[in-house]
């Protein structure tokens, strides 16, 4: 409940709906008619939702009904008197959090806004001179559209936070047993006769345990991507690639692999979040190196113009088995892996990072065998 409120985003919505809190909004003296209707609105709203089985059950719990009638009367009054102050924005956003806590289906909240809109149009018909009705209705509709945006933003943020903390919790709980199992297997392995069936079994358990260990790391990388909004800054591809390369090399994944970089100087800067782009390239390099042909272990990275103006392309080629139709179709599906020890999260993480940075990722057979992974990313405007 103490999560930060994304005021920047909420103010951005306000600005785009032309609801500047500091300028006259066209409601003028008519605000009073709405403020006076607060109590009636609270009662009307609750009566409406008492007639729906699912929401009636929520309203009949404890003193929800009496509370909500009061809350909605105040909310309605505040909407027409507080001029979208930061305080009112916080109140609105927190109501979304409260609804998630109550497991209230967001569709009912949206229905609530339809009820509110109807009610407001009734107030306008009754209290606003006909010559001004259209203008007042236009402003009120925009105000309600803004409230729906805030409620939806809050709902999405809260629910994805819940999902993420559940996944992070599971990954955290799994990490300890993995470490204990790994330690014990290594000890047993040392005691076993070399080449004995017992040692072969320990080897297998250890490998599977390492796969789990990687999966926990990959899950952390996946959920970490949702932590902050991506920045959009010019990033030098050579620098990003060097960072990604050294991460992959430090894990021994480039041992024996020949890696070449052929960056086009005219297409060597991408616009995006530096950390997310490094993660994207890290997983692509790792994936390309792991799937490389053992007798000809080559990975080549090149860059060039994107398929649409304003974009650039990074291509990662490798030798080895070309991707199957299924590999290409399942690119974004977590846990689909063509490698025996793969976690199936590498490409979905890269694809997610590409999408978050307004880019795209695709996989196709290489022109001379192997596979090529193409990443399109926004490029800075040309001078
Ligand atoms: C226009 C749509 C809606 C608005 C603007 C709205 C607004 C609010 C606000 C401002 C709060 C207080 C939050 C807080 O204390 O932090 C609240 C709480 C609540 N809302 Fe809504 N709400 C809407 C739709 C609904 C609907 C459709 C239901 C369904 C029955 C509902 C049920 C509740 C309940 C049960 C509470 C908690 C009351 C309490 O704390 O005792 N709301 N709502």
Residue 110 placed within a domain? yes
Closest CA to 327 of 312, 307, 346, 353: 346
Q: Whose CA is nearest to atom 35 of ligand 1?
A: 64
* 173, 64: one domain: yes
Gap between the Cα atoms of 96 and 107, Å rounded: 12
* 211, 287: one domain: no
Closest approach atom of ligand 1 to CA 62: 41
* 223, 239: one domain: no
Domain end, chosen from 167, 193, 227, is at 227
* 212, 270: one domain: no
Spell out the residues 6+ positions from residue 368 whose beta carbon is closer than 8 angstroms to its own: none
CATH classification of the domain holding 12: 1.10.490.10
CA distances from 162 to 1, 100, 265, 324 (A): 11, 10, 44, 36
Strand partners, 363: 373
Residue 151 placed within a domain? yes
Q: Please state the rounded mean pLDDT for residues 41-57.
A: 95
Q: What pLDDT digit, counting tens, does each position of 282-337 carry? A: 999 998 998 888 899 999 999 999 999 999 999 999 998 888 887 777 766 766 66
Its pTM stands at: 0.73
User: What's the domain range around 75?
Assistant: 1-227
Q: Please state the rounded mean pLDDT for residues 116-144.
A: 95
The two structure tokens encoding residue 5: 């409120």
- CB of 49 closer than 6 angstroms to any ligand 1 atom: yes
Domain end, chosen from 211, 227, 243, is at 227
Q: What is the crossing angle of helices 130-191 and 197-224, to 10°?
A: 160
Closest approach atom of ligand 1 to CA 108: 27
Tokens 């993660």 label which residue? 279
CATH classification of the domain holding 251: 3.30.565.10
- CB of 79 closer than 6 angstroms to any ligand 1 atom: no
Q: How far is the CA of 49 from the centre of ligand 1 (A)?
A: 11
- Identify which of 110-119, 203-212, 357-366 has the greatest average pLDDT: 110-119
Give the distance from CA 242 to its chain's centroid: 27
Domain end, chosen from 227, 242, 258, is at 227
β-strand 311-318 against 298-305: which pairing, if any? antiparallel
Spell out the residues 6+ positions from residue 346 whose beta carbon is closer than 8 angstroms to its own: 218, 283, 284, 286, 287
- Per-residue pLDDT at 195: 86
Is the pLDDT reported for residue 149 higher than 90?
A: yes
- pLDDT band of residue 1 (cuts 50, 70, 90) is very low
Residue 99 falls in which region: left (phi positive, over 0), alpha (psi -120 to 50) or beta:
alpha
* 217, 246: one domain: no
- CB of 67 closer than 6 angstroms to any ligand 1 atom: yes
Least confident piece of the model among 140-144, 336-340, 349-353: 336-340
β-strand 269-272 against 233-236: which pairing, if any? antiparallel
Is the pLDDT reported for residue 186 higher than 70?
A: yes
The domain tally of the chain equals: 2
Residues 279 and 246 sit within 8 Å (Cβ to Cβ): no
Is the pLDDT reported for residue 340 higher than 70?
A: no
Q: How far is the CA of 68 from the centre of ligand 1 (A)?
A: 6
Residues 178 and 213 sit within 8 Å (Cβ to Cβ): yes
Q: How far is the CA of 280 from the centre of ligand 1 (A)?
A: 41
Number of other CB atoms surrounding residue 262 within 10 Å: 11
| Residue to probe by mutation, ligand 1, list 95, 103, 111, most atoms within 8 Å of CB | 95
* 156, 23: one domain: yes
Residues 276 and 234 sit within 8 Å (Cβ to Cβ): no
Q: Whose CA is nearest to atom 10 of ligand 1?
A: 95
- CB of 154 closer than 6 angstroms to any ligand 1 atom: no
Q: List helix spans (H) across the chain.
A: 7-16, 31-36, 38-50, 53-59, 64-79, 86-101, 106-127, 130-191, 197-224, 237-250, 274-290, 325-329, 346-356
Q: How far is the CA of 134 from the centre of ligand 1 (A)?
A: 29
Q: Is 290 or 237 the better-scoring residue by pLDDT?
A: 237
Gap between the Cα atoms of 228 and 274, Å rounded: 13
- CB of 89 closer than 6 angstroms to any ligand 1 atom: no
- pLDDT band of residue 136 (cuts 50, 70, 90) is very high
């Amino acid at each position: 409940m103490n999560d930060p409120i994304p005021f920047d985003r909420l103010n951005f919505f306000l600005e785009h709906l032309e609801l500047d809190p500091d300028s006259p909004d066209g409601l003028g003296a008519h605000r009073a008619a709405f403020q006076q209707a607060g109590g009636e609105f609270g009662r009307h709203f609750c009566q409406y939702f008492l007639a729906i089985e699912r929401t009636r059950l929520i309203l009949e719990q404890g003193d929800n009904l009496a509370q909500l009638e009061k809350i909605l009367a105040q909310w309605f009054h505040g909407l027409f008197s507080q001029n979208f102050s930061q305080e009112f924005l916080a109140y609105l956003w927190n109501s979304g959090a409260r609804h998630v806590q109550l497991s209230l289906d967001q569709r009912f909240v949206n229905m609530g806004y339809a009820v509110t809109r109807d009610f407001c149009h009734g107030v306008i018909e009754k209290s606003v001179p006909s010559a001004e009705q259209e203008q007042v209705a236009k402003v009120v509709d925009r105000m309600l559209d803004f409230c729906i945006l805030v409620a939806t933003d809050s709902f999405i943020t809260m629910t994805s936070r819940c999902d993420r903390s559940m996944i992070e919790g599971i990954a955290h709980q799994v990490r300890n047993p993995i470490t204990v199992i790994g330690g014990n297997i290594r000890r047993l392995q040392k005691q076993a006769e070399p080449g004995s069936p017992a040692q072969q079994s320990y080897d297998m358990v250890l490998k599977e345990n390492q796969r789990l260990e990687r999966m926990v790391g990959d899950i952390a990388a996946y959920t970490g991507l949702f932590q902050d909004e991506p920045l959009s800054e010019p990033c030098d591809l050579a620098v990003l690639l060097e960072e990604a390369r050294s991460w992959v090399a430090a894990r021994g994944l480039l041992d024996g692999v020949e890696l070449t970089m052929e960056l086009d100087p005219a297409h060597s800067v991408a616009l995006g979040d530096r950390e997310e782009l490094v993660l994207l390239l890290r997983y692509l390099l790792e994936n390309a190196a792991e799937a490389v042909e053992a007798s000809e272990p080559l990975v080549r990275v090149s860059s060039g113009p994107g398929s649409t103006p304003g974009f650039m392309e990074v291509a990662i080629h490798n030798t080895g088995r070309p991707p199957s139709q299924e590999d290409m179709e399942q690119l974004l599906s977590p846990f689909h892996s063509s490698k025996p020890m793969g976690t199936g999260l590498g490409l979905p993480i890269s694809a997610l990072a590409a999408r978050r940075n307004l880019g795209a990722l695709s996989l196709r057979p290489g022109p001379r065998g192997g596979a090529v992974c193409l990443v399109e990313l926004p490029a800075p405007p040309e001078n």
